[in-house]
Structure 1
Amino acid sequence: QRRDRKIGTVEQIEQLVRISREFGRDVANAKEAREIYKIGTFYDSANETLAENGFAPNRKPGQVGFTQHARR
């Protein structure tokens, strides 16, 4: 990598693809990337969004202390 200029976006992607392949990792295509990052997925509430993405729910009014993940 050259130090006299910034690397462009396309070059960054090419470099990441090269490194991934050197480590034997597959690169996601556009459809797989959308599924991985849940692009286009919508939820009915903030708490559903938090739960589906692995976060603890929002506190209820007046609740103090730590929140815990719902048991599935």
Structure 2
Amino acid sequence: MGIGAQDDFAYAERFVSQTGTTFPMLWSDSNESWRHFDVGRNSSVLLLDSGGNLADDSPGSFDAASLSDQLAALT
């Protein structure tokens, strides 16, 4: 899931269109979603388990191998 809040909704729509993003995007112009997940910066990666609980996080990004390992541990 992607969380957008720093720009306007039209920017978020352009981002999805230009990047070919296929995962769900959550938009909140109030930053409530950032506060809920305690996101401190853009860009951050949060991995949630099937119950919606934070399993891991990283400021910036995970490399592909690390992300694959993290996802495998969640399934």
Q: TM-score range by the shorter chain?
A: under 0.3
Q: Larger relative CO (CA 8 A, sep 6+): 1 or 2?
A: 2
TM-score (norm 1): 0.22
Instruction: Give 1 or 2: higher strand fraction.
Output: 2
